[in-house]
Amino acid sequence: MTVALLSIGTELVRGEIVNANATWLADQLTQLGLNVEAIETLADDQDQLVKGLRDLDAQHAYVIVTGGLGPTSDDLTAAAAAKAYETELVCNEAALGAIRRCIAKRGINLEAGHEKQAQLPIGAEILGNSIGTAPGFMMDRQGGKTFFLPGVPEEMREMFVQQVVPRVRESATHNVVQICLHTYGAGESDVAAQLAGIEETHPHVKLGYQVKAAQVDVKIIGRGNDYGEAQQRSAAASAVVRERLGPLVYGEGEETLAQVATRALRSRGWRLAAAESCTGGLIAKMLTSQPASDFFVGGAVVYANMAKTVVLGVSEDTLRGHGAVSAEVAAEMAEGARRVFDADIALSITGIAGPTGATSDKPLGLCYWAIAHPGGVEVEHNVFSGDRNKVQEKAAFAALNSIRTVASARG
């Protein structure tokens, strides 16, 4: 059973936003054991949408469409679906009732745009939206089904899990199992080189690689005659991947580096403080994207030299002698944060995120980060590539990895 994904939105075609929906759906469907053969993106143009739907329907058992179900004039998906299936749009009373209940809960008035969302093709089966106003719907057709989901990621994901998965699960082969391992500390080509030969020794397994910001994901996809055999094969290959990559592997599945670092801190009973300059609080944000009151004491964003001195006690002599972007200042920032916040371990980071601030001996992207812990202070540095946002993101990732490493290695 093959699946095609169709993402609708002029903003996607123009590159104004990243098509994260298609990536997420393809991953979920692969894990279900369904074969995704096509991913297409079309602008908000009714004629294009009608042709796109008809073409994909003719080639695939399932088509999953996202976007274009909103209340505005450029939301054309329902109208295109009606034309593609040679039917008409009508007000679906069940959908309208659900929209009214959602609007009432929000305490706002029902607008014409909301009522527009209840205009669905005759014969459509409603897919309930437990988060937003836009109902999804499904069209049965000869040889398959087409699902229409909202483009808002949170609404789309919830509807896919609750409404689509139960309707396609029986068609899945259930003979594919994917394990995703997250790595940090080596580039994609280096990781691939270390894993050379695994596919030859595990003939029913394929390896895939995906670069995400500063990390490289390794996807181990095992196939078998049934789910159990596929799981066994992917697990066996995964064990080899872990053995070869060693500490480069930091997590699996939905785990984030912040979660892994947090787990290491909790295992030691350590409380953490942070002192950030070039990352501007990004590390604290990443750590507190999860419940953190039991391990995260607090943090300080200290951009100016004066702030580093007044808040953290960094020596003016150190700043004059070595500059704010230096191993010496990073070390004093970490020690100061540990002292000021009465923490067991403290992280500091200082650097040149750009686009200005570089000198002949301190290039753009140069960052120093330090970890002050019960055994002393450890300082690392790197020159990260990319624009300001990328440098900040990569630097924050590196610092979190150092927390993970230090907390995991010491009692």
> Is 28 exposed, middle or buried (CB count within 10 Å of its CB: 0-12, 13-18, 19+)?
middle
Residue where a domain stops, chosen among 195, 228, 252:
252
Helix (H, G, I), strand (E, B) or coil at 316: helix
- Do the Cβ atoms of 30 and 1 come closer than 8 Å? no
- Do 244 and 206 fall within a single domain? yes
Residue 112 confidence (pLDDT): 79
- Domain with 56 in it: what CATH number? 3.40.980.10
273 forms beta bridges with 298, 346
- Do 311 and 266 fall within a single domain? yes
- Do 291 and 354 fall within a single domain? yes
- Do 71 and 119 fall within a single domain? yes
- Do 204 and 307 fall within a single domain? no
Residue 144 confidence (pLDDT): 94
The H-or-E segment that residue 377 falls in is strand 376-383
* Whether the model pTM is above 0.85: no
- Do 219 and 163 fall within a single domain? no
Total domains in the fold of the chain = 3
DSSP 172-186: S---EEEEEEEE-SS
Residue where a domain stops, chosen among 203, 224, 252:
252
- Token pair, residue 5, equals 């994904």
Residue 175 confidence (pLDDT): 83
> What backbone phi and psi angles, to 5 degrees, belong to 211?
-90, 125
Q: pLDDT under 50 in the chain at which residues?
A: 411
Residue 411 confidence (pLDDT): 47
- Do 122 and 183 fall within a single domain? no
Residue 288 confidence (pLDDT): 96
- Domain with 233 in it: what CATH number? 3.30.70.2860
- Do 46 and 87 fall within a single domain? yes
Residue type for position 55: D
- Do 278 and 214 fall within a single domain? no
- Do 298 and 360 fall within a single domain? yes
Residue 48 confidence (pLDDT): 97
Query: d(Cα 159, Cα 127) in Å, to the nearest integer?
Result: 7
- Do 130 and 184 fall within a single domain? no
- Do the Cβ atoms of 214 and 398 come closer than 8 Å? yes
Domain that holds residue 205: 176-252
- Do 368 and 300 fall within a single domain? yes
- Domain with 270 in it: what CATH number? 3.90.950.20
Residue where a domain stops, chosen among 141, 171, 201:
171
